[in-house]
Amino acid sequence: AMGEQEVVKNITFLTSIINPLTMMMTSPQQQNELLTKRPSPTMPSMRLDVISQYKASDTSSGRSDDLLSADQSSKRSLLSNNDQSSVANSAYTGYSKQTAAPVLTSVASPVTGSSILSPSAVQSRRRKAKSAPPSGFKVKSNIPPLDFGSAGLIGRGAETSTLKACYDRLLMEDGRKELILVGGESGVGKSSVIRSMDSQISIEGLFVEGKFDMNTSNEPYSGVAKAFGVICRKIKEAGHETILDLRQNLRKELGDKPGLLVQLIPELQDILFAETSDDSSHESIDRVDEAEGGVDRLRFAFRMLARVFSSVFSPLILFLDDLQWADVSSLQVMEYLISDTENDNPLMIIGSYRSEEVDENSLLHIKMAALREKTDKFQFLMTELIIESFSVSAIEKVITTVLPSLRVDHIVGLAALCHKRTLGNPFFTIEFLKMLHFEGMLSFDKTTKTWTWNLSEIRKETMSTANVVVMLEQQLRKLPEQVQALLQCAAYLGSTFREPTIDLVWSVYGRRLVDTRMKPVASLLPLLVADNIFEKGEKEQYRWVHDKLQEAALSLSETRRETFQLDIGKTLYYGLTKEQVEEDLFTIVDLINNGNTLKRPEFATVNLRAAEKARGISAFQAASEYASEGISLLQENDWVENKSTALSLYTIGAESELVLGDVDAAERYREVVLSRPDLSTLEMLPLQIGKAKALGDVELRSKEALEYCLRLLKKLGCRLTWARPLALPQAVVGAIRTIKKAKAKSPSFYESMEVSNDTKQKYIGYLLSKAALNAYTAGDTAMYLLSAVKLVDITMEFGVNEFSATAFTFLGIMSVIVLQDYEAMERFVTIALGMLKKFRGLHAAESIFVGHQLGLFWVKPPEIGRGVAEKAILAGRREGDLVYTSWSIVQHVIYLPYITGCPIQAIVEGCPNILAEFEETKAGAHILCVKNYYQMLLNLSDPSCDNPSAHIGEIYTDTKEDHKGNLVHLADKLVAEGELVFWHEDYEVSAKRALMIGETHAKIGPAIYVNQIESFHRAVALYAAAIKTKKGKYKRAANKIRKRLGTLTQYDNTTIQYYYMFLTAEHLALNKNYKAAKMQYERAIEAVGKLGHLHHLGLLNERYSDFLLRELSLQKESRYRLEQAIGYYREWGAVHKV
């Protein structure tokens, strides 16, 4: 339908800009005609690998200037073709190096606007095209193409120097990480500046890139997963031995089933698992609440991955491109990695973002503000860099290099005009010059090999615009119909896509867009790659050379955009294999949702599938959004015909909102479900369990949560007590009965136990565990005992559930509390630990912590505790158990080192890190605990502390609100106060306090291991006061503690053994049995000397010195012992005690 002149004009454009496409689409006669008009082989080529060097010579003056030196041609260019395609170093990105330059991080929303050519110029050119005969039309391809590869990183010296300084600092700092956030408008060359780091990195290091996409901004972790996928591919190139080492290290930390990471990063599969990996030695237990702890599991998994990868590639630089499109989960992972204080390997994260798309309400702005506040606490450095548009002088340098001219005034004038027309935007400047080149406004002199132009004509024929998309769109509209159609299809698949995917869309949907016979995708893609529209990667992957091209292609669909998205989404969902759909699920569902403007209800199930996947990878924001969209598509009859879909959507919505902290939204979802009369108790339970979590875990209303759990248990036929006033005696009787019953079972009974498949009993077990936890925090001992006993009963009757190991550890504790039966305790804890070896899915961190901290440490040496705590921490982080991971960290960093007399300074140094971690995870009870002991340790060791006996200072200030309703904190507070009085005041003062406090700590937290040292120090103070004052009240209280500790000396706890030896020496001295006392003192000192407990080496020598001087008048020996005591106290770090 076109006129002849229009055909020739379009052929002209294709020849000069997209030549290979022209060759495919034109007739053989036209091809031959065009071939005769191609540039001479001696003219400069656009390809970077064959860049020719222009010489600008002035024949009249004999001057010859080399405008493109060898040094310049080797540089990567902000304005080069490298600025319009992907990263030049394809080894790191997985994409092949093309003739164009690295992708600029930019894409705005599609917009419309006028041509950069003035309206009169457009009309004039159309008239000329119609009037001129075809034979007389000059094909502009005889003008050499513009070579931007020679421009170098013009005008970016300061920015590249800043990045280089950060890199140098990264290599010098020990364990200090670098975060660099680079902002600027779309097209200013942020990516090119950042990718210049690639050439700086050492051979041992690695630079990788992950890009976020405007079309898939809802896809969780997309850019982060891409970056880690590149690292995995790089590792595979390193050889079999490297993979084996990494597999061993990663599985050691992540366990045998790191499925969460493999879902996000499929490339990890080959690294983590051998082909024949099959571990059938463990039975798996499905948890009632799989979402619980998901965020914490993911935090640990990503941090471990970064630690291992940054130990292999040092330094490791992660470039996250287009952060303005990153989802909230990806931004959180970025924070996880940069704030990991346990990663001592050099790690740099560089993020780029469009400054014009980030305002004070955006996710990225909020995250950046939060990160600025955390640099000191989490020991990373943060640099913010803004890249501005080009100045006129910078454009002059570009034109001087790319368009060598004999006239300087021409260059200055064109630079000023370019700056006016493009506002100095580098990408737009490139496209503006290309347009001038295509429209014939730039003339090339073959004789001088220089360029000329008419500024007046350019000024007349063009007008100012800041919208490069409009110009690109107009260029794309000149392409053949099939090419335009294919580009539209590809634009909706995101910045990257696979050939089978575009082939499916093209074959099914493309025929609706074109009238002629369709060309196969396999023949079109190579041409688009050759012409720098697409870029080919590994495994049939393609991506757009520049986001602006993708955006311009999106604009081609105009008002049909929603229809395009829905049809393409449906084509992919129903046309791809199940595995392919799963891989691209979020992209597909987003296409369907964006196009489903009529709210067609059949897509509710599609959103459920996406919500389930998002929840499975702990992307709860995305899960919430997909669930909400699915719920909006439900019809009333779905509660009958698709009940499972409707119920699942509401359940995921409530779970996700609860994790995100929106309790009200979660409650609204629950109310809808719970108001329906056609649902059974079991069908409603997932939503009701969510309410129990909200009351206890989020709102910290333990008493209400306990009562709610008891009501749910009653509905399930599990009633713990008939009369609350009789609950405590009932609990004691029940505990005794269950202990005897469990002791009577043979070892073979426990070894042959199987997993319970009874759904009702699983829910009962879950609710019993929540009831026990809330009862403990609410101080309801009776309900705590009843819940724990019932958990053991249902395990022995119905089989193992996820809380069975925990239940047996609690039964062991009850054996001590109720019957003082340490042998039974040891047996039950051993049974629990055996379950952990046999079954996956148990709450390992809780079982390990409780079993040792409250159980085995009474009968085992505390020196084994550090290793046990490390196991509990690792297990807890793997399973996302924030509570018991945190308690195990406190045990590892504070409790055990203090109990075993490690140097105070070493303990103090570990406190800030764990305090920062707990603040990050909002672990309120653990924060109070750490501050409590942190302040105690500072009072002991800080010479500037004016009143070390007072438990108050910069870290911790006691308020009633701190321990109101928090019995665990109250117990810790009593210990810290007592320790400071014990070490700094006269022993009589400490003894008076001991009588006043009594066994309060032990009653609040029965069986807690820190009770040992607290009881020992109370007894020491009481004996010292009894010896000094001869008062029987001190003696009686001290003897009571000594006798209780004496019952434990038959076991292997060497610490309790020397406690008892020393207290016996004090007892003998009080009873004037000096000879026996002297022997006992020396035995105790010898025993503690073998263990190396510095604080008690000081204490025992101090008290022995007092005995020698007071009772035996051995001044020389007493002085020696006192000097020994001072030396040990000084080594321990107790400056005020010294």
Listing DSSP states for 590-615 in one string gives HHHHHH-TT--GGGHHHHHHHHHHHH
For CA atoms 1073, 1074, 1078, 1084, the dihedral sign is positive
208 by DSSP, 3-state: which? strand
pLDDT at 81: 35
* Lowest-confidence region among 17-21, 885-889, 957-961: 17-21
For residue 552, list its beta bridge partners.
Answer: none
* Lowest-confidence region among 263-272, 712-721, 1097-1106: 263-272
**Over residues 17-35, mean pLDDT:** 40
Average pLDDT, the chain: 80
Q: Which two tokens stand for residue 73?
A: 């041609």
Cβ neighbours, 10 Å, residue 526: 12
Cα–Cα distance for residue pair 175/660, rounded to 1 Å:
32
pLDDT at 334: 93
Q: State which H helix or E strand residue 679 sits in.
A: none
DSSP assignments along 741-764, one per residue? HHHHS-HHHHHT--B---HHHHHH
Burial of residue 63 (CB within 10 Å: 0-12, 13-18, 19+) is: exposed
Q: Which residue has the tokens 């069986």?
A: 1007
For residue 450, list its beta bridge partners.
Answer: 445
Cα–Cα distance for residue pair 1121/1109, rounded to 1 Å:
10
Q: Which two tokens stand for residue 255?
A: 């366990």
346 or 477, higher pLDDT: 346
pLDDT 10s digits, 664-710: 898 899 888 888 888 888 888 888 888 888 788 777 788 889 999 99
851 by DSSP, 3-state: which? helix
At residue 55, does pLDDT exceed 70? no
pLDDT 10s digits, 419-441: 888 888 888 888 888 888 878 88
pLDDT 10s digits, 750-762: 888 888 888 888 8
Q: Which two tokens stand for residue 25?
A: 């689409």
8 A C-beta contact, residue 846 and residue 829? no
pLDDT at 1055: 94
Single pTM value for the model? 0.70
Q: Which residue has the tokens 């080009």?
A: 390
Q: Which two tokens stand for residue 701?
A: 């209303």
231 or 925, higher pLDDT: 231
- Hey, which bits of 289-346 come out as E strands? 316-321
728 or 121, higher pLDDT: 728
8 A C-beta contact, residue 879 and residue 844? yes
717 by DSSP, 3-state: which? coil
Give the phi and the psi of residue 1069 in degrees, each rounded to 5. Answer: -65, -40
At residue 849, does pLDDT exceed 90? no
Q: Which two tokens stand for residue 645?
A: 């879909």
pLDDT at 59: 33
- How far apart, in Å, are the Cα atoms of 214 and each of 554, 566, 807, 1098? 11, 17, 49, 66
For the stretch 66-72, contacts whose Cβ atoms lie closer than 8 Å and that sit 24 or more positions apart, written own/partner, are 67/150, 67/400, 67/401, 67/404, 68/150, 68/401, 72/150, 72/152, 72/401
**Over residues 451-473, mean pLDDT:** 77
Cα–Cα distance for residue pair 43/486, rounded to 1 Å:
32
pLDDT at 700: 73
In sequence order, the 6+-apart residues with CB closer than 8 A to the CB of 399 are 405, 411, 414, 415, 418, 433
At residue 1112, does pLDDT exceed 60? yes
- How far apart, in Å, are the Cα atoms of 125 and each of 167, 439, 455? 52, 9, 18
- Paired sense of beta strands 534-536 and 541-544, if any: antiparallel
pLDDT 10s digits, 58-74: 333 333 333 223 333 33
At residue 133, does pLDDT exceed 70? no
Q: Which band of pLDDT confidence, cut at 50, 70 and 90, is reported for residue 559? A: low
Cα–Cα distance for residue pair 985/48, rounded to 1 Å:
80
pLDDT at 283: 62
In sequence order, the 6+-apart residues with CB closer than 8 A to the CB of 808 are 742, 792, 795, 828, 829, 831, 832, 835, 847
Q: Which residue has the tokens 């109070």?
A: 928
Highest mean pLDDT among 9-18, 446-455, 690-699, 894-903: 894-903
Residues 247/250/251/254 CA torsion (nearest 10 deg) = -160
DSSP assignments along 32-65, one per residue? HHHHTTSPPTTSPPS-GGG----EEEETTTTEEE
Q: Which band of pLDDT confidence, cut at 50, 70 and 90, is reported for residue 143? A: low
pLDDT 10s digits, 873-899: 888 887 778 888 888 999 999 999 999
pLDDT 10s digits, 1025-1072: 999 999 999 999 999 999 999 988 988 889 999 999 999 999 999 999
Highest mean pLDDT among 390-394, 575-579, 1022-1026: 1022-1026
Q: Which band of pLDDT confidence, cut at 50, 70 and 90, is reported for residue 937? A: very high
Cα–Cα distance for residue pair 890/929, rounded to 1 Å:
8
**Over residues 1090-1117, mean pLDDT:** 96
**Over residues 562-569, mean pLDDT:** 84
Q: Quick check: bond before 315 cis, omega within 30?
A: yes
Q: Which band of pLDDT confidence, cut at 50, 70 and 90, is reported for residue 258? A: low
pLDDT at 291: 65
pLDDT 10s digits, 479-520: 788 888 888 888 888 888 888 888 888 888 777 777 777 888
pLDDT at 642: 85
Q: What percent of the chain has pLDDT over 70?
A: 82
